[in-house]
Amino acid sequence: MVDVKLDDRMAFEAWVQAGTLEKASKLLAGKGSYNVNTGQDWHPGSIRQASNRFILNNVAEAREVFKQQGSIMNEKQWEVRLLKAACKVFSRKNFMLWGSDNPWALQYPLIVNRRFPGLAEVLKDNVSS
């Protein structure tokens, strides 16, 4: 199998199975999935980005997988995990859309503002209006 684009689910599952991004890269290569543009294994950053997209698009399923793997994240830790993934995946504009659907994210203005300076206040104002 030759992939032009790294499949989000496949990346997430490889990362969960392997335990590290580097091992996930080797696992995917062993399955014949690699970056056809470079001819190299998938870069760990690509696997992280694809996995974050999977988590954001499949929140309940990803949460269940983490629980099955023995994760003891409480609800706040899970929210922070989601928020950090959203900050990495979304542009400012798309984060604003996501943030309006996830007002709990406003509980973590330092995380939001680290990636998007001043955005936490903008989102707070939009929710208040």
| Each residue's pLDDT tens digit, 24-81 | 999 999 999 989 888 899 999 999 999 999 999 999 999 998 888 887 888 999 999 9
Tokens 């709990």 belong to residue: 104
Tokens 């983490």 belong to residue: 66
| Each residue's pLDDT tens digit, 88-129 | 999 999 999 998 889 899 899 999 999 999 998 888 777 666
Phi/psi of residue 116, each to 5°? -125, 85
What local confidence, expressed as pLDDT, does residue 14 receive?
94
What local confidence, expressed as pLDDT, does residue 128 receive?
66
Helix axes 75-89, 92-101, angle to 10 degrees: 150
Nearest to 69 by CA among 1, 16, 32: 16
Residue 13: pLDDT band with limits 50, 70, 90:
very high
Kindly report the pTM of this predicted structure: 0.82
